Structure 1
Amino acid sequence: MDSKPLVSVRGVGKSFGPTRALHDVSFDFHPGEIFAMVGANGAGKSTLIKIICGYYAPDQGEIFIDGEPARFSTPQEAYQKGIQTVHQIINQGVVQNMTVAENLALADLLAADGGFFHRPKAVKRRAAEIAAKMDLGYLDLDAPVEELAQSDRQMIAIARALASNPKLLILDEPTSSLSDKEAERLFTTLFKLRDMGVSILYVSHRLHEIERIADRVGVIRDGVRGGILAKPFKVKEIVTAMVGELEGRAAGRKTTAVARSTPRLELVDLEVEPGSPPLNLSVYPGEILGITGLIGAGKSELAKVLFGVNRAHAGEVRVNGVPVVHGSVRDAIKAGIFMVPEDRSNTAVIPDFSIRKNITLPFLDRFSSLGGLLDHGGERREAERMVRAMGVKCHSESSDIAELSGGNQQKVIVARWLSQDFNVLILDEPYQGVDIKSRHDINRYLTENRGERSIIVMAADLDEVLEVADRVVVFNNGAIAGEQPYESLDRARLLHWTTQSPEDLRVERSS
């Protein structure tokens, strides 16, 4: 581009313990452009954003603003330099026990003179001005934010960010909770800001959205810059840049012949939620099924239904040919359906527990005697067995799990569910924040120890699925767009199914 960048990152690197989150990443953000950043879960997008906005300090590299080096100790320092961020977690962008007006005028309330706190009319007047720019006049300025819908909270955070007249506006998944109408209103505002010379860094998994609004696309893969795409581009090109090209089959991969006997798991007209398309799918004994698709395609929603976190709207789940109804995680575990969830930190790891307790916790009844006493020796031996089998790097099974790297924590969570017999094991984005060696270790154990059990690996990164799956199913907009056995894999066809628009997908399914 002809213009000089407003903000640049040069050679940025960041590690968390032994895990390398970013390595030598460089991007330029120019005035008057919407720069979209894409990458699979765990690719490093959020880490880079947090470095730019002052939440993390980089281990290597520099940030430049208007050509001058800048180093931030706090997000406030980045804000003062004109970098404004709306983070993905909506409730981090609002103060829930404050009113709409106070949230919209929060920057003024926090100003050095503090006079705004004693001028409620001025607060409401300023809030009304900010709300008007985003057509939020329908909101009650006196209402507590905690009473609002998630989409309204998101719009408040965005409106407040825009009110600061930022040089670089960073939006991390800004439409994740917005309706189509609200998203359109946001896009109209972003186009106006772009025309005014604002630089916008836009992160989203909705690639059709990016195809429409972005001027350039930057790709991050496994913590490394994967390339830049400039307009015009299509969704398929973005996906190819994200997941790479596959030259034939993965080196050395051999799949296991799976007998099409009674399915270990069968979905019959299963509707995950109201309005979602019915799913019909079978997973066979000894099969590793890979389910891929873009983030938001419906993989995690299916996983939560199968594991009893959410209830299905309609249809049937069968295990070994027998219909099962589970309204809770406990019911799913009794049916032999286990899951490694997507969000390891918040829904899997118990940070105050030892490695042993993290492995055995769901199955303590199996280590208990008739009198209810816990067999500590049996529990310890089982944890030691799984630690050795999974190659967990630790001092001992009694060490705190918080001492481990992300990859080794993930091995412990996988070990938790592999330690006991099961019918179906679901792994939802199991490689997030996991180094390549840990990923290979997990896949090796899954492949060598599957037996007659069924395993489902869900990942947006196609390469991660292809490394371990016997068969690949593509999800798109909540529906099964197609499937292929590994032996006759057609990468182009998989990408086609992945990148179809919802409208084209409906037409193809109906033809």
Structure 2
Amino acid sequence: MSLLVEMRGIEKRFPGVHALRSVRFDLKPGEVHALMGENGAGKSTLMKILSGNYQRDGGEIFFEGKPVAPDSPRAATDLGIGIIHQELSLMNDLTAAQNVFIGREPRKSFGRLDEPALNRQTADIFSSMNLKLDPKAQVDTLTIAKQQMVEIAKALSYKSRVLIMDEPTAALNDAEIAELFVIIRKLRSEGVGIIYISHKMDEIKRIADRVTVMRDGEYVDTVDAESTPLSRIISMMVGREVSEKPLDVPDTRGNEVALEVRNLKRGREIRDVSFTVRRGEILGFAGLMGAGRTEVARAVFGADPRDDGEILVHGKPVSIHSPSDAVRSGIGYLSEDRKRFGLATGMNVRANIALASLDRFTSKAGVLDERGMRETANNYIDQLGIRTPSDTQEVRLLSGGNQQKVVVAKWLLRDCDILFFDEPTRGIDVGAKSEIYKLLEELAAQGRAIIVISSELPEVMRLSHRIAVMCEGRLTGILPGGAETTQEQIMELATQRESAMAPVGEVA
């Protein structure tokens, strides 16, 4: 079978970094080819070269057997190469149809927009995807899954023969992932070649035909997805065997209660939620999308107002009406969207670590103590194992796992001993996940109270000493961590509607 895309000996350098070393990759028509590797392996750089966002420093690219040199995103789309980035780039105040054909809208005489034709052409694309979606729907009224479909439609409107999908399921629930996979299989049957980047190992077996693994900017191997054990793929990615030790649940029943939340309420999002977390404990929050887990964390942290409820820190009631109130009470919150809410990505590592504690480094005259900031930042870089050339490296250039560690350092510097981690490993590769797990366990062992919110059941079960389960804004049960609890038990509570609710069980 002839190849749609072939990349040979691709080289890319940035100042001080040899990002890609003689990398190769190919794609067949009607194939889903997974591109895998740890954060920083070079996957995105390689795809940005293919999609015209970066220019290669060496090597060759062939499209349908002919040498090409896409020097801009427009040149790549003209060839038939589309890319769907992990961060959606839609315009929320426009309709789905306007987003699909932005800058290429059909026009009537005198340049007037032909709205009926715009909607009709978009409806035809949606129909080809078996997608039931109104072209006139405003994007900000759509679910993340539907927005993802609009991005795909936009790529297909260019008659893309190659579709690059970067972490397409990062924000989707199981039902939405199934919907996306139906569309991917249909595109594959029509001869579209799909390059699929994901850190979710189970998806690779479900959707990919072949897997190419990269590590440290180099090509490792290409293998058949169906016949290759996941353990081998993981070991190729990280260069070592990754095994998770069984969870050792400590007995924290005699420890001081660090955080107690009583009868927390916020409309129908949070409905009379109460829980405790002790020093040295990791409390996991499980539940389906929309269950109210993040809403609870944001309400406790003061990011969203609450209608009612009481918060106690170390046994004393505290008044929290804003994040600054929470921080003063020793509570830190690591958002699920670390780039938007946790980091200043255009600033360096040193500034980000000091960001929540600038008062410590500012003199009465308003002068920053750069030396103190540098020494403090390097202490945390060493303590947390943050992989960065220096404390002056821009945070946006770090891998996802190392960005997460920078956020942790920021809150540790602020002396927060109660930490909420919302989706702590979203967009983080399997090797970095192990490091984050180890870090959370170390923080708990130091006596900090940790609350972990995760949509991945194996992760909740792997990390948590106790597991709080939510459904439709209510806490439906608290289960023990470790081997005592099964995924089935968690899912039973996660789908327990109000009419079927039994009294909430508390496991000390």
TM-score normalized by the length of structure 1: 0.64
Q: Which residue of 2 aligns with 1:5?
A: 3
Give the letter for the 1:132 counterpart.
D
Q: Which residue of 1 aligns with 2:449?
A: 454
Instruction: Note the C-alpha offset of 1:239.
Output: 9.3
Q: Which residue of 2 aligns with 1:157?
A: 151
Alignment of 1:216 with 2:205, yes or no, is no
Instruction: Note the C-alpha offset of 1:66.
Output: 2.4
Instruction: Note the C-alpha offset of 1:76.
Output: 1.6
Q: Which residue of 1 aligns with 2:378?
A: 387
Q: Which residue of 2 aligns with 1:79?
A: 77
Note the alpha carbon deviations across 1:41-82, whole angstroms, 9 max, x for none. Answer: 777654444333222345676544224444322112221221
Aligned ranges for residues 251-330 of structure 1 at < 5 Å? 260-266=254-260, 283-286=277-280, 304-310=298-304, 318-322=312-316, 326-330=320-324
Instruction: Note the C-alpha offset of 1:128.
Output: 0.8
Q: Which residue of 1 aligns with 2:53?
A: 55
Aligned ranges for residues 145-184 of structure 1 at < 5 Å? 149=142, 153-172=147-166, 174=168
Equivalent pair of 2:279/2:444 in contact (CA under 8 Å): no
Note the alpha carbon deviations across 1:194-236, whole angstroms, 9 max, x for none. Answer: 3222223345678887766x25263768667687554599999
- Aligned pair count reads 483
Alpha-carbon distance in 2 for matches of 1:39, 1:177 = 20
Alpha-carbon distance in 2 for matches of 1:445, 1:233 = 31
Q: Which residue of 1 aligns with 2:419?
A: 425
Give 3-state SS (helix, strand or coil) of 1:339's partner.
strand
The change in CA–CA distance for 1:72 and 1:503 in structure 2 (over 3 A counts) is farther
Alpha-carbon distance in 2 for matches of 1:270, 1:222 = 46
Instruction: Note the C-alpha offset of 1:409.
Output: 6.8
The change in CA–CA distance for 1:163 and 1:301 in structure 2 (over 3 A counts) is same
The change in CA–CA distance for 1:98 and 1:353 in structure 2 (over 3 A counts) is closer
The change in CA–CA distance for 1:295 and 1:400 in structure 2 (over 3 A counts) is farther
Q: Which residue of 1 aligns with 2:398?
A: 406
Give the letter for the 1:196 counterpart.
E
Q: Which residue of 2 aligns with 1:334?
A: 328
Instruction: Note the C-alpha offset of 1:424.
Output: 1.3
Alpha-carbon distance in 2 for matches of 1:272, 1:218 = 45
The change in CA–CA distance for 1:314 and 1:8 in structure 2 (over 3 A counts) is farther
Give the letter for the 1:85 counterpart.
I
Give 3-state SS (helix, strand or coil) of 1:134's partner.
helix
The change in CA–CA distance for 1:316 and 1:195 in structure 2 (over 3 A counts) is farther
Counterpart selection for 1:128 from 107, 110, 120: 120
Note the alpha carbon deviations across 1:96-138, whole angstroms, 9 max, x for none. Answer: 676655544447459xxxx878454767425413323314797
Give 3-state SS (helix, strand or coil) of 2:152's partner.
helix
Indicate the larger mover: 442-451 or 410-419: 442-451
Give the letter for the 1:453 counterpart.
R
Give the letter for the 2:381 counterpart.
M
Note the alpha carbon deviations across 1:325-354, whole angstroms, 9 max, x for none. Answer: 644312321221113445554433446767
Note the alpha carbon deviations across 1:286-334, whole angstroms, 9 max, x for none. Answer: 4577889999999866654553334679987653245656443123212
Aligned ranges for residues 447-486 of structure 1 at < 5 Å? 447=442, 451-455=446-450, 484=481
Instruction: Note the C-alpha offset of 1:358.
Output: 4.1
Instruction: Note the C-alpha offset of 1:464.
Output: 11
Equivalent pair of 1:205/1:294 in contact (CA under 8 Å): no
The change in CA–CA distance for 1:34 and 1:337 in structure 2 (over 3 A counts) is same
Give 3-state SS (helix, strand or coil) of 1:32's partner.
coil
Aligned ranges for residues 133-148 of structure 1 at < 5 Å? 133-135=125-127, 139=134
Gaps in structure 2 of 5+ consecutive residues: 503-508
What percentage of residue pairs aligned between the two structures are identical?
Answer: 30
Give 3-state SS (helix, strand or coil) of 1:418's partner.
helix
Q: Considering only aligned residues, what root-mean-square deviation do their CA atoms show, in Å? A: 6.2
Alignment of 1:66 with 2:68, yes or no, is no
The change in CA–CA distance for 1:37 and 1:119 in structure 2 (over 3 A counts) is same
Note the alpha carbon deviations across 1:423-454, whole angstroms, 9 max, x for none. Answer: 213455379789999x9799789949974433
Q: Which residue of 1 aligns with 2:341?
A: 347
Gaps in structure 1 of 5+ consecutive residues: none
